[in-house]
């Protein structure tokens, strides 16, 4: 089908004085020229399709035609170029006794929805950075018609449920896990629990899973069923007991983030309430000296495995000695922490002896958690479980796998289906 839309634009410009380019742009935008062209294309398509069924309007009829015209109905749709209103023709099939709309059969509208996928995708893009209220306000400056906050929220949930995470990779050797909280809108629930697992392989981050208000075990079961991690994975985390218990099996090793290790020890010392602030800081600095010196040996002496092995033994012995001293100082919680986590604090060094490099910190997932905090952890924001999980999935897929998000976005914007269409624009300039 070939459609020709003639376009003539008359612009009156004063003979004297400056002509601001922004004024010309504003005049063109106010006339909604693009929306007008789209409207004419759809109207012409509708006319051609109906003519192919029923023949030209007002042509002679024999009374034996299968298809006859059956009135019109109005169709309103909002796209990223504005509001379009057309009257679609209906056709009656006299054999099957049903009425159809040829244009709806041919053009894929978003069902009976007013807002079409392209403008909805733009609003969902903005909603990942701004509140729903701010999204409406800011988009109204550049788009003629913007959906309501409730409509945007519904589409965020819909798109969040349909977007896929990047789980094509298998055998990932390292995973990072972390959790955070946000204010809840659920009845009887003050906070939402957010759990995230990030896979690391060949320097690339992969979102393995995200859950809201579910246990760590439910998330690890999902990951195990997909077979994404290697048979002997290493989990880098902040040492949260529930997280560790959920991942723990005979083949899984753990690396506790060193920075979190220092913080946890400080918290345990405060809980023990046996030392003053200066004494607690001295204990923490002693642990820092042990572990950071080990980190430096691993980083700067990779070719000297014997030196690394000796340093590991020295650091483990030092932590054991420190734990015994804490017992004597009446700090049982601190001593228990060191005895329980000392091996997980040096996993990165032990694996380096086998030529396996893993992070000694969880900075990568901490940055990811920062993306979450920017959007959902403001004190005035309240979230349902379903809405929070959907928007977090969109945010994290966009952050970890931008190519996958672009592919999803292109699908929603219709950019993957333009191969069968082309357009030629010819504008003739007439001087007045």
**Chosen domain end from 111, 127, 158:** 111
Q: Give the tens place of pLDDT for each residue, 63-115.
A: 778 888 889 999 998 888 888 899 999 999 888 889 999 998 888 888 888 89
Is residue 105 in a domain? yes
**Chosen domain end from 77, 95, 111:** 111
**How much is the pLDDT for 348?**
94
Is residue 151 in a domain? no
Is residue 318 in a domain? yes
Is residue 295 in a domain? yes
Strand partners, 206: 199
Asked if 410 and 402 count as a contact pair (C-beta separation under 8 A), the reply is: no
d(C-alpha 55, C-alpha 61), whole Å? 9
Is residue 389 in a domain? no
Kindly state the greatest CA–CA separation across the chain.
107
Could you list the residue range(s) of the whole structural domain that residue 87 is in? 21-111
Classify residue 366 as exposed, middle or buried by CB count within 10 Å of its CB (0-12, 13-18, 19+).
middle
Walk across the sheet containing 98-100 and list its strands.
67-79, 82-93, 98-100
Give phi and psi for 349, each to the nearest 5. Answer: -75, -40
User: 């009845």: which residue's tokens?
Assistant: 187
Angle 141-143-144 (CA atoms, 0-180°, nearest 5)?
100
Per residue, the 3-state secondary structure of the chain, as one string, reads CCCCCCCCCCCCCCCCCCCCHHHHHHHHHHCCHHHHHHHHHHHHHHHHHHHHHHCCCCCCCCCCCCEEEEEEEEEEEEECCEEEEEEEEEEEECCCCEEECHHHHHCCCCCCCCECHHHHHHHHHHHCCCCHHHHHHHHCCCCCCCCCHHHHHHHHHHHHHHCCCCCCCCCEEEEEEEEEEEEECCCCCCEEEEEEEEEEECCEEEEEEEEECCCHHHHHHHHHHHCCEEEEEEEEECCCHHHHHHHCCCCCEEEECHHHHHHHHHHHHHHHCCCCHHHHHHHHHHHHHHHHHHHHHHHHCCCCHHHHHHHHHHHHHHHHHHHHHHHHCCCHHHHHHHHHHCCCCCHHHHHHCCCCCCCCCCHHHHHHHHHHHHHHCCCCCCECHHHHHHHHHHHHHHHHCHHHHHHHHHHHHCCCCHHHCCCCCCCCCCCC
Is residue 219 in a domain? no
| pTM of the model as a whole | 0.81
Interhelix angle 258-272/277-300, rounded to 10 degrees, is: 160
Is residue 409 in a domain? no
Indicate the number of domains in the chain.
2
**Sequence-distant (≥ 6) Cβ neighbours of residue 101 within 8 angstroms:** 73, 88, 89, 90, 91
**How much is the pLDDT for 395?**
94
**Chosen domain end from 331, 360, 389:** 360
Ranges of residues in the chain with a pLDDT under 70 are 22, 166-169, 225-226, 416-422, 424-432
Is residue 64 in a domain? yes
Q: Give the tens place of pLDDT for each residue, 12-32.
A: 777 777 877 767 777 777 777
């Amino acid at each position: 089908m070939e459609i020709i839309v003639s376009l003539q634009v008359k612009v009156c410009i004063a003979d004297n004085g400056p002509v601001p380019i922004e004024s010309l742009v504003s005049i063109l935008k106010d006339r909604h020229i693009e929306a007008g062209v789209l409207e004419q294309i759809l109207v012409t398509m509708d006319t051609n399709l109906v003519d192919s069924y029923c023949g030209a309007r007002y042509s002679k009829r024999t009374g034996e035609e299968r298809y006859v015209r059956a009135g019109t109905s109005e169709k309103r749709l909002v796209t990223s170029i504005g509001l379009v209103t057309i009257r679609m023709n209906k056709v009656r099939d006299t054999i099957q006794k049903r009425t159809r709309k040829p244009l709806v059969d041919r053009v894929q509208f978003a069902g009976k929805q007013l807002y079409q996928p392209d403008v909805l995708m733009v609003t969902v893009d903005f909603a990942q950075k701004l509140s729903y209220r701010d999204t409406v306000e800011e988009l109204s400056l550049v788009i003629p018609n913007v959906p309501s906050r409730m409509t945007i929220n519904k589409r965020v949930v819909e798109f969040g449920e349909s977007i896929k995470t990047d789980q094509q990779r298998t055998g990932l050797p390292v995973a990072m896990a972390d959790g955070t909280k946000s204010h809840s809108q659920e009845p009887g629930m003050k906070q939402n629990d957010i759990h995230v697992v990030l896979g690391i392989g060949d320097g690339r981050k992969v979102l393995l899973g995200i859950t809201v208000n579910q246990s760590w075990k439910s998330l690890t079961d999902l990951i195990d069923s997909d077979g994404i991690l290697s048979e002997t994975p290493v989990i880098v985390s902040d040492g949260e007991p529930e997280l560790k218990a959920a991942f723990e099996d005979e083949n899984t090793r753990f690396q506790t983030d060193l920075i979190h290790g220092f913080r946890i020890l400080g918290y345990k010392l405060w809980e023990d309430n046996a030392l003053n602030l200066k004494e607690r800081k001295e204990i923490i600095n002693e642990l820092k000296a042990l572990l950071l010196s080990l980190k430096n040996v691993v980083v700067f002496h990779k070719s000297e495995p014997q030196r690394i092995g000796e340093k590991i033994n020295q650091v483990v012995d030092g932590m054991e000695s420190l734990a015994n001293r804490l017992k004597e100082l009446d700090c049982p919680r601190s001593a228990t922490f060191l005895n329980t986590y000392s091996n997980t604090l040096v996993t990165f060094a032990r694996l380096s002896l086998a030529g396996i490099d893993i992070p000694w910190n969880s900075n990568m997932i901490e940055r990811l958690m920062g993306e979450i905090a920017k959007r959902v952890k403001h004190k005035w924001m309240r979230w349902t479980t379903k809405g929070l999980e959907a928007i977090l999935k969109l945010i994290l897929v966009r952050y970890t796998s931008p190519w996958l998000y672009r592919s999803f976005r292109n699908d929603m914007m219709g950019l993957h289906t333009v191969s069968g269409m082309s357009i030629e624009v010819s504008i003739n300039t007439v001087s007045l």
